[in-house]
Amino acid sequence: MKAITLRQHGGPEVLKLEELPEPEPGPGEVRIAVEAVALNHVDIWVRKGLPHLKLQYPFLLGADVAGRVDKIGAGVRSFAVGDLVVVNPGHSCMRCRDCLSGRDNLCRHFELMGEDRPGGYAEKIVVPTCNLVPRPASLSAVEAAAMPVTFLTAWQMLTRKAPLWPGADVLILAAGSGVGTAAIQIAKLHGARVIATASSDEKLIRTKALGADATINHATQDLVSEVKRLTNKRGVDVVFEHVGAATWEKSILCATRGGRIVTCGATSGYQATTDLRHVFFRQLEILGSTMAPKGDLFPILQHAAAHRLRPVIDRVMKLEEAQGAHRLLESRTPFGKLVLQP
């Protein structure tokens, strides 16, 4: 089978097209013929190298996969060859208290496909059946592949960690990213007022089309003063943070008294300064978030099937164009997701 492999860390040029043996499903596993695999920033971080990584080479990137069941392993009853599926990228032991309590993303053995274990930059992959969700007929493979990581991440942040309510003010940073476009839609689904930021007026126009109520160009406008102006000096109830060091101090200043700052990433760097006086005096809550329980992908896909949520796709490229796709993602020019097809 064709695969894009990683055998050393570095720039996009380390991604190589190779022929690898097709994987075989074991008991309780199925093999998926990959029809689409979406990119995430974690692909870039793993390609460049992270301190905790213990990879077996050749390694495959790619957390977001949609396709069809190609072969089933022993004991599999819930899926059949030909079924259309979406892969849930979070893997866990499914035996511990957290897993059995529906909090599998807190499992001490939690792993993300394409980061801690091989991913979907290939024509075929093998996954446990507990990581499969039936794909709604109304979603194409490209659309379905563009949803799991970004929508699961935003869903937990805005429904579990910092639950929104009708009329709540939420600031969504870097709203033109994959997770940002998901957050806008989830916030509007729950009746919140969305203030979206982006680095270009073109992106801000597109965030408006997704439902953003107000926009801020953080390249040309002062983030804090604009938030204060838009909220009558009050600040926002929730800050949706995933940028990191470049925005962290301003995010704290944008939150209202008793507000919540929920963060899932640090694409601009993780060494951020926190003025604790603002945290305790204004009684702020700072919440960390990684992915979401596996079960949350079911309501997300139900909303997508009913056209209440939709993936935003910047462009579709061939699997062989993975190097170019990585360069595009690093440029921060895309609006929404980049998707590869074998």
pLDDT digits (tens, 9 = 90+) for 28-37: 999 999 999 9
Mean pLDDT of 81-92: 97
What's the CA gap between 214 and 228, in Å, rounded? 12
The whole-number pLDDT of residue 54 equals 87
Going by pLDDT thresholds of 50, 70 and 90, the confidence category of residue 50 is confident
DSSP collapsed to 3 states, the chain: CEEEEECCCCCHHHEEEEECCCCCCCCCEEEEEEEEEECCHHHHHHHHCCCCCCCCCCECCCCEEEEEEEEECCCCCCCCCCCEEEECCEECCCCCHHHHCCCHHHCCCCEEECCCECCCCECEEEEEHHHEEECCCCCCHHHHHCCHHHHHHHHHHHHHHCCCCCCCEEEECCCCCHHHHHHHHHHHHCCCEEEEEECCHHHHHHHHHHCCCEEEECCCCCHHHHHHHHCCCCCEEEEEECCCCCCHHHHHHHEEEEEEEEECCCCCCCCCCCCHHHHHHCCCEEEECCCCCHHHHHHHHHHHHCCCCCCCEEEEEEHHHHHHHHHHHHHCCCCCEEEEEC
Examine the pLDDT at 53 and tell me if it is beyond 90: no
What are the structure tokens assigned to 284, written together? 């702020």
Mean pLDDT of 88-116: 96
Examine the pLDDT at 85 and tell me if it is beyond 90: yes
The whole-number pLDDT of residue 51 equals 84
Going by pLDDT thresholds of 50, 70 and 90, the confidence category of residue 195 is very high
The pLDDT tens digits for 1-37 are 999 999 999 999 999 999 999 999 999 999 999 999 9
pTM for the model:
0.95
Going by pLDDT thresholds of 50, 70 and 90, the confidence category of residue 52 is confident
Strands 15-19 vs 337-341: parallel, antiparallel or unpaired: unpaired
Examine the pLDDT at 288 and tell me if it is beyond 90: yes
Share of the chain above pLDDT 90, in %: 96
Mean pLDDT of 169-181: 96
Q: First-to-last CA distance in the chain?
A: 10
Long-range contacts of 18-25 (CB under 8 A, 24+ apart): 18/58, 20/58, 20/122, 22/123, 22/124, 23/124, 23/125, 23/126, 24/71, 24/126, 25/71, 25/72, 25/73, 25/76, 25/126
Q: What is the sign of the dihedral through the CA atoms of 266, 269, 271 and 273?
A: negative
Domains of the chain, earliest start first: 2-147+311-341 (3.90.180.10), 151-288 (3.40.50.720)
